[in-house]
Structure 1
């Protein structure tokens, strides 16, 4: 299977993941998402398919998603061994995650990095989600808040703008989030079991 062109591998993986051709519509938590082929990566002898899904309800609070399927070669195609259709959430208006990538800097296995935000009543907040694609299943850490902008005219944090950047990555151990803007401070996240967790309570406000 791995000798085939990547485009053909992805097409066969997508067909196995969604049981057919075209752009399938799947119901996830009472919402309908239409998925399309995204990216296929290999972790050892296991294939991982990442498929963006657009929420057919395009309301402000309706999020799309990035589906994760684990597959293994079977005959001239693939067999699904695990499915997480909405583990990685997108933003509002039905959109799937748009700003995502894979990195080998954080952990032993590839980490899916997704960054997104949300604006409501003049206040914007958001952050980064890390999902490690471990051989047996994807493992997601808590949201790392990296975006805050309050121009709403309300509250003690009115006019505050803070941005966070992940720095000082020690693979499999820890990383820092350096904040700048209206306030400057640094917070440390450490590896605890299968996930990264903040050391103490975050000082980053949210909407």
Structure 2
């Protein structure tokens, strides 16, 4: 079973970006040629450190971590990755953890738009309620970027947890529009059950295997059964065509 709570076990000063199971398609569910294109974003320490300081208003010499109170709770943020948009705009993803969190408490993802220029990064906007998060106070546990889903780049995050012997992870597709990030879709990217009383054994791993930009994308599943599910854009959101064949917890 894939470890869905990596963020709860390892919290380094600079969290390494890692591709979620949502991204690296494999056979036998129709691997495209070439493989579905993704990038992990820059993790070059100086670049991301300077961007993080600008986003959170940290002075020179400050430790690359920041605390923010959101809805009465304090989250501790660390930088994860930065992705460049046209016109020298950087999109910074930071991960906010919640101390003393209960099982059902999620962390929070921070997305900042930063304008690059001769004087460095200048904050253009910030959002604290986008993307997928995990349980027990964890933000997203994996993330990556793709230019293949639409005319604008997409950030794809994933996070999940374990409930009475059943583990499940959800991926969220966030469009990085010029005016800010917009969540467009979500799907189950991993599920494993059978350890709980009365549960049937089952394991599923879902990955994006194809996309028609700004129209649809397809998720291929392997595991207990192999199949694909297609999502179509309608009224600003991607909706699943037909019934969801992935069991829930």
Question: TM over 0.5: same fold?
Answer: yes
Give TM-score scaled by structure 1 length: 0.82
2:103 maps to 60
Q: 2:219 aligns with which of 173, 177, 182?
A: 177
Alignment of 1:10 with 2:52, yes or no, is no
Aligned residues: 201
Contact 2:131 2:156 in 1 (8 A): no
Deviations 1:153-207 (A, max 9, x none): 445x522333323223223322222334334443211123544221234232212
Point out where structure 2 has 5 or more consecutive residues left out of the alignment.
1-43
Partner secondary structure for residue 70 of structure 1: strand
1:37 corresponds in structure 2 to: 79
**CA gap 1:204/1:15 in 2 versus in 1, 3 angstroms:** same
Tell me, which stretches of 5 or more residues in structure 1 are unaligned?
1-5
1:113 is displaced (CA, Å) by: 1.4
Partner of 1:141: 184
1:84-95 counterparts in 2 under 5 A?
A: 84-95=127-138
User: CA-to-partner distance for each residue in 1:29-74, whole Å, 9 max, x for gaps?
Assistant: 3322111233222211222111122222343223223210112247
2:9: which partner in 1? none
CA distance in 1, matches of 2:225, 2:76: 41
Deviation of the 1:8 alpha carbon: 4.8
Q: Is the contact made by 1:82 and 1:137 (CA closer than 8 Å) also made in structure 2?
A: yes
More strand by share: 1
Q: Could you tell me how far apart the structure 2 residues matched to 1:122 and 1:139 are? A: 33
Cα distance 1:123–1:109, how it changes in 2: closer, same or farther (>3 A)? same
1:19 alignment counterpart: 57
Offset of 1:103 from its aligned partner? 1.4
Judged with a 3 Å threshold, the aligned counterparts in structure 2 of structure 1 residues 202 and 19 are, in CA distance, closer, same or farther, namely: same
Aligned-residue Cα RMSD (Å) equals 2.5
**1:98 aligns to 2:133 (yes or no):** no
Q: 2:231 aligns with which of 189, 192, 198?
A: 189
